[in-house]
Amino acid sequence: MGRGNTAAAAAGPEPAERHHGNRHGRSEQARQAVLEAADDLLVEKGFTGVTIEGIAARAGVAKQTVYRWWKTKTDVLLDAFLQDAAKALNPPDHGDLGPDLRAHLHQLALFLTRSDAGAVFTALIGHAQHDPAFAAALRAGYLDEQRRRDLLPLERAVERGQLPAGLDMAAEIDQLVGPVYHRVLVTAEPVDQAFTDRLVEAFLHRAGVAGAGVAGAGEAGSGRP
């Protein structure tokens, strides 16, 4: 009897706890399914082929579930892209500026040219040309945050004494990542590792960093992706 009462007492709050956990678990699973569905549909059908109805159907959720979190398909695509960028574009910290920059620029190039997220980015940039409010959201959500990530290798190098504290970091970052975006969005020229390594070597030479041109000097003609 005592054991039964104890079991009954213990059992009392369990349904509420399970419901709370499962509800949030299902909610997050549904949200992730929507983001993945949006990515997949854009790659398959292009920007104009993506609809809220199509996203919901691909994700296996009700249309109302999508509208619970997002107002438009561009909002869904932007959130999907921001999540992918946050995971993929954090610069490594090898303790040395050259390797850090080479790895980061190469990863940025791969992200923009070889991943589904890159296709989403290109579509979002195109849409932003006709939607000033969305353009502002894209700048605030991705471009500003990515700028902060891009600066990390330089800031760490200043702390280590590899770069002077008075360096114009904003101008240098423009010269490092700007050509990558230019090729991705404008010229469609290759953005292989030989290209990104040359950008890094040019920066290291300008900044007077010891060892510039050593790593990657033998890679410049390799065309390695």
pLDDT in tens, 39-69: 999 999 999 999 999 999 999 999 999 999 9
- Which segment of 2-11, 125-134, 143-152 scores lowest on mean pLDDT? 2-11
- pLDDT of res. 89: 95
160-173: average pLDDT: 93
Residue 44's nearest CA partner among 34, 55, 53 is 55
- pLDDT-derived band at 156 (thresholds 50, 70, 90) equals very high
> Taking the model in full, what pTM does it have?
0.77
pLDDT of 27 reads 87
At residue 97, the pLDDT reads 96
pLDDT at 9 over 60: no
Task: Please choose, from the candidates 158, 169, 152, the residue with its C-alpha nearest in 3D space to the C-alpha of residue 209.
Answer: 158
- Quickly tell me which residue has 């292009």 as its tokens: 46
- Position 5 pLDDT exceeds 80: no
pLDDT at 22: 34
pLDDT recorded at residue 210: 64
> DSSP H helical segments within 62-96, as ranges?
63-69, 73-88
Helices (H), 92-187: 97-114, 116-128, 132-138, 144-160, 169-182
- Separation of alpha carbons 71 and 73, rounded Å: 7
DSSP state of 165: T
Average pLDDT, the chain: 84
Mean pLDDT of 17-25: 36
